[in-house]
Chains A and B, each alone.
Chain A
């Protein structure tokens, strides 16, 4: 084939209309679609959170019946984890990884589009369970057997298969990322020169490929127990409901790092830029990320301290879990040290990143408390756990995603967002998120169990505060949506320079803003 045809293949612009999005093989288009899907899921999951918080605003049953309340907590968790946080990070990886390593696109562009388009089908199927007889899944996002097998609503079959579709999508997406990073780096970009976002995503992709198949195995065992008479999770046949928890958390614990490692990468970029200093301790950041990934495979039982385990297991998993604090501490130390004596400015991405460091650390410390097995007997399944994982997921993962969007949006669309609106968004979110999740620590320690629609009267005041905080946090996200909308589609805002910020490092800042439809068709030279 001639050089000319090859040229034609490479130098096309996007298609017009809807076909651009259906047929695209472009990593930027696909990244955008992932981000839009994540935002839609965030809104849907957010509405479910509003239902939950409205019911819990005061004691007693007022708005929804308990079964529907359980459906809301379950679907809120599933939608936020699989529909909002994970796709948002995959979207960012799509946009950024090829630009950061100087690649023309992802390694397998068609598989990339396929991975994306499986997701709307999967979430369509999952959401459709809300309208099925018997209602949507109501057994919590961790879908423990036998609640999710013997006592599950009939829609569980569709839940299982929607998880299968998400799994195919995640595995294919992760294979794509990992191969892109291994094989598509510009000449001269050695592993230890890769930007941290790329490093963290490399390790995340490895975790995804390792554990998503185990989740597929777990839901397959459920399906077989429900419909084909197997006894994986039924002690009557020699199985064990606790086996479900083992298989689930073998997936589930690496999964929570899948949702936080890319955030570490993002924050490392942003803090260095706005401190106007190189990142402190690049090598230790890489090693810490790898250690966290390794440890994530040997700590899963800390989710199950109260199910009745041999003492040796309690001890092993308690100590291995506490070890995670070491590499995480290294990271927090590095971020703080990067800021130390820097010329700091506080643009919106930096505000979100600093809030990330502080609030994620709170979530990490409550995690350390939960890791102590004897104490966990008190905390287990209380609002303390809810506070813990919301601190790492909302001001943790979600804040990093918001920071990333503010930070790279000028590169994507060529315009600066409104800093004033950004600051409003940040401060309202910051106040809202703490008002929502901080009091949960107290009511949890005082003994309020999670996943209940009604509660004892002594928890009333804190719950009212939490609901108000949730309302503030939820509605302030509309500022973000408006800000992004006016910058992108609205075409308002100052034109961005190629560098956008004050001397940031990375290949993505060497190309024009907005980034051309195709970048780095000839690989740049990195020295």
Chain B
């Protein structure tokens, strides 16, 4: 029989290092957030952050490196490859639900919380809290303007966000072209299209950062601007973080293609990164419609 059995690694030090690294990262994050709200971030926390970052990098390179090596050495049976695919699929589903939570908050605020504050419906008590507050969306004038100063206007959907939409949608196509080239064993074309995808992705991120600057400096749209600012920055911020992660994954794939890691019928890493990229693309389309346009 040629197909290897399901590979169960004998032992591995990566999980415990991984658990420690995640703990240190989260501990240093918690400490720095805690300390910066009540003054200065301490030297100990800064040191902890550096150690945590190193531990994370060490773990990520080590663990992924080991898995890649096992794949190249042919340890992975078809069944194991299927496990990888299923796992990535379910992981992306968990990410979908994470975004669903924030979209839920957006819809709730828009459909219920803000109109009720404005006195709509039979739950009119809440408008007694801030008399004279009138409901509007996007919410630019908040009930309590001293605590949450509101914004002068929101981002124009048909300028930068439209360009960003075009960039991300195009990048999904270029990534698919790259995938087709990989299947057709055309390394040069694979790299070309993949490189173009990365370029589009990073341009998206640069524009997003520029747009944040514009929102905060010119429009007064900040995290503190009320519920529109809260949902706007949390949704686009987490989306941006996911684009960054996806771009890092694709960058790794770029170098792995260069090193001839992939075969036309066996390139799980590439596929998983591509799925992830399409996922962040779909999230963006939702964002574009529900956060920017309507």
Complex contacts, A232 vs chain B, CB 8 Å: 105, 109, 227, 230-231
> How far does the alpha carbon of A224 sit from the alpha carbon of B33 in the complex, in Å?
10
Q: Which of A173-190 touch B at CB < 8 Å?
A: 174-176, 178-179, 182-184
Map CB proximity to B onto A425-455 as digits: 1 under 8 Å, 0 otherwise: 0000000000000000000000000000000
Nearest Cβ on chain A to B240's Cβ, whole angstroms = 15
Q: Decide yes or no whether B153 CB sits under 8 A from chain A.
A: no
Residues of A contacting B74 with CB < 8 Å? 1
Q: How far is the CA of A310 from the CA of B125 in the complex (A)?
A: 12
B259 on the A face (CB < 8 A) = no
Q: Closest residue of chain B to A121, judged by CB?
A: B23
Q: Measured between alpha carbons, how far is A168 from B167 in the docked complex, in Å?
A: 31
- Ordered by A's residue number, 11 sampled pairs between the chains whose C-beta atoms are within 8 Å are A23-B11, A25-B11, A117-B19, A174-B90, A178-B90, A179-B83, A213-B95, A227-B37, A230-B224, A238-B226, A308-B123
What is the CA–CA distance of A143 and B144 in the complex, to the nearest angstrom? 24
CB of B122 within 8 A of chain A? yes
Give A520 to B61 CA distance when docked, in angstroms. 32
User: Is the CB–CB distance between A209 and B123 below 8 Å?
Assistant: no
Chain B residues whose C-beta falls within 8 Å of the C-beta of A179 in the assembled complex? 83, 86-87, 90
In the assembled complex, A158 has its CB within 8 A of some CB on chain B: yes
Cross-chain contact A227 with B19 (CB below 8 angstroms): no
Residue in A109, A160, A229 whose CB lies within 8 Å of B224: A229
* Cβ-based interface call for B98 (8 A): yes
| A217 B11 Cβ-Cβ under 8 A | no
Chain B residue contacts of A240, Cβ below 8 A: 108-109, 112-113, 116
- Contact in complex: A250, B33 (CB < 8 Å): no
Rounded to whole angstroms, the CA-CA distance of A244 and B5 in the bound complex is 48
Partner of B83, one of A183, A229, A242: A183
Q: Would A243 and B113 count as touching, CB distance under 8 A?
A: yes
A231–B105 touching, CB < 8 Å: no
A161 at the interface (CB under 8 A from B): yes
Q: List the A side residues contacting B73 at CB < 8 Å.
A: 1
Partner of B139, one of A157, A218, A238, A308: A238
Q: Which residues of chain A have C-beta atoms less than 8 A from B8's C-beta?
A: 9-10, 25, 104-105, 109, 518
Instruction: Assess the A247–B101 pair: CB atoms within 8 A.
Output: yes
A residues near B (Cβ < 8 Å) are 1, 6, 9-10, 12, 15, 19, 22-25, 103-105, 107-114, 116-118, 121-122, 125, 154, 157-158, 160-161, 164-165, 168, 171, 174-176, 178-179, 182-184, 209-214, 216-218, 220-221, 223-224, 226-232, 234-240, 242-243, 246-247, 250, 308-311, 518, 521-522
Q: Among B23, B100, B113, B233, point to the contact of A165 (Cβ < 8 A).
A: B23
Partner of A236 from B15, B105, B148 at Cβ < 8 Å: B148
- The 8 tightest CB contacts between A and B, nearest first, are A217-B101, A236-B144, A237-B148, A229-B224, A238-B227, A117-B19, A230-B230, A213-B98
- Residues on B close to A: CB < 8 A? 4-16, 18-20, 22-23, 26-27, 29-30, 33-34, 36-38, 63, 73-75, 79, 82-83, 86-87, 90-91, 93-95, 97-98, 100-102, 104-105, 108-109, 112-114, 116-117, 121-123, 125-126, 129-130, 139, 142-144, 147-148, 222-231, 233-234
Q: Hey, which chain A residues are within 8 Å of B121, CB to CB? A: 310
Known: A12-B11, A164-B26. 12 other contacts (CB 8 A): A103-B6, A110-B14, A111-B87, A154-B34, A161-B30, A174-B90, A175-B90, A226-B37, A230-B234, A232-B231, A236-B143, A243-B109
In the docked arrangement, what's the CA distance between A212 and B7, Å? 29
Residue of A nearest to B103 (CB): A217
Output the least CB separation between B269 and chain A (Å).
15
Q: How far is the CB of A423 from chain B (nearest CB, A)?
A: 39
Binding site secondary structure of chain A? helix
Tell me, rounded to whole Å, the shortest Cβ–Cβ distance linking B239 to chain A: 13
User: CA–CA, A122 to B229, complex, Å?
Assistant: 31
Contact status A23-B13, CB under 8 Å: yes
Residues of chain B within 8 A of A221, CB atoms compared: 102, 105, 234
Q: Which residue of A lies closest to B29 (CB)?
A: A161
Task: Name B's interface SS.
Answer: helix
**Residues of chain A contacted by B144 (CB below 8 angstroms):** 236-237
Contact across chains for B94 and A118 when beta carbons are under 8 A apart:
no
Do B10 and A12 touch (CB < 8 A)? yes
Contact A104 B12 (CB under 8 A): no
Q: For B101, B148, B223, which residue has the most chain A Cβ atoms within 10 angstroms? A: B101
- Closest residue of chain A to B59 (Cβ to Cβ) is A114
| Interface pair A239/B33, CB less than 8 Å apart | no
Assess the A310–B33 pair: CB atoms within 8 A: no
CA distance in complex: A120, B97 (Å): 26
**A10 to B5 alpha-carbon distance, docked (Å):** 9
* A230: B residues at CB distance < 8 A: 223-224, 229-230, 233-234
The residue among A160, A183, A221 with the most chain B CB atoms within 10 A of its own CB is A183
Residue among A217, A223, A224, A518 with most chain B CB within 10 A = A217
Contact B9 A22, beta carbon cutoff 8 Å: no
Please tell me if the beta carbons of B27 and A243 are within 8 angstroms of each other in the complex: no
In the bound complex, do residue A214 and residue B23 qualify as a contact, i.e. CB atoms below 8 Å apart?
A: no
CA distance A113 to B18 in the complex (A): 10
Distance in angstroms between the alpha carbons of A217 and B104 in the assembled complex: 10
Q: Please report the C-alpha to C-alpha distance between residue A81 and residue B155 in the assembled complex, in whole angstroms.
A: 43
Q: Which of A112, A113, A174, A229 is in CB contact (< 8 Å) with B16?
A: A113
Query: Which residues of A sit under 8 angstroms from B12, Cβ to Cβ?
Result: 23, 25, 110, 113
B238 — nearest CB in chain A belongs to which residue? A220
CB-contact partner of A308 in B11, B125, B228, under 8 A = B125
Judge whether B105 and A209 touch: CB under 8 Å.
Answer: no
Bound-state Cα–Cα, A361 to B33, Å: 46
Q: Contact check: which of A9, A15, A161, A176 meets B27 at CB < 8 Å?
A: A161
Contact of B223 among A108, A182, A224, A238 (CB under 8 A): A224
Residues of B within 8 A of A1 (CB): 4, 73-75
Contact A9 to B105, CB < 8 A, known contacts A113-B15, A118-B23, A158-B30: no
Given contacts A108-B87, A183-B79, A238-B143, contact A117 B230 (CB under 8 A): no
Q: Which residue from B7, B23, B63, B86 sits with its C-beta under 8 Å from A9?
A: B7
**Which A residues lie within 8 Å of B6 (CB)?**
103-105, 184
Least CB separation from B139: chain A residue? A238
Q: How far is the CB of B6 from chain A (nearest CB, A)?
A: 5
Q: Which residue of A lies closest to B112 (CB)?
A: A240
Q: How far is the CA of A165 from the CA of B29 in the complex (A)?
A: 12
A114 proximity list for chain B (CB < 8 A): 14-16, 18-19
- Of chain A, the residue at the smallest CB distance from B34 is A157
Question: A237 contacts B102, CB within 8 Å?
Answer: no
The docked-state distance in angstroms from the alpha carbon of A160 to that of B33 is 12
